[in-house]
Amino acid sequence: MIQKNVMNRKFDAIKNLLDAEIKGETDLPSKAVIFALTDNELTSLITKKRLELIRAIDKKRPQTIQQLANYTHRKLPAVDRDIKLLMKHDIIKTKRTRKGVQPILNKGIIILPLTEPKRLMEMAV
């Protein structure tokens, strides 16, 4: 029951944010990205392993992709492939440092419309 209440509060917060954006009352945070993806694109982009990478980058601030792979107990080639895909969608960016290539969280909020409204205004209630 508590889990459902938490999810309802999160959904309400996101809906209020979108409603305010649609009405022109606020700007979405620069750390947000909105995706309109097909089912196949959605399931190929958002995986448990990629969410783990995103959260590790946010919490642990790895200095290199190798360090990120170590934190998540994954092999470097797999992490590198996932980083490139997340970069393609502007969720992650990288910065070359003396130590190597550092992954940086570029977008911390992902908004995924689960239905296909005819117009964006239809999302406002």
Structure tokens at 53: 């990478």
* Helix (H), strand (E) at residue 56: helix 48-60
Could you tell me the CATH number of the domain that includes residue 60? 1.10.10.10
pLDDT in tens, 69-109: 999 999 999 999 999 999 998 889 999 999 999 999 987 77
Range of the structural domain that residue 9 is part of? 2-123
| Helix, strand or coil, per DSSP, at residue 34 | strand
pLDDT in tens, 1-27: 556 676 677 667 767 766 776 677 765
Determine the pLDDT at residue 26.
65
Determine the pLDDT at residue 76.
97
Domain count, the chain: 1
pTM score over 0.75: no
What angle in degrees, to the nearest 10, is found between the helix axes of 48-60 and 76-88?
90
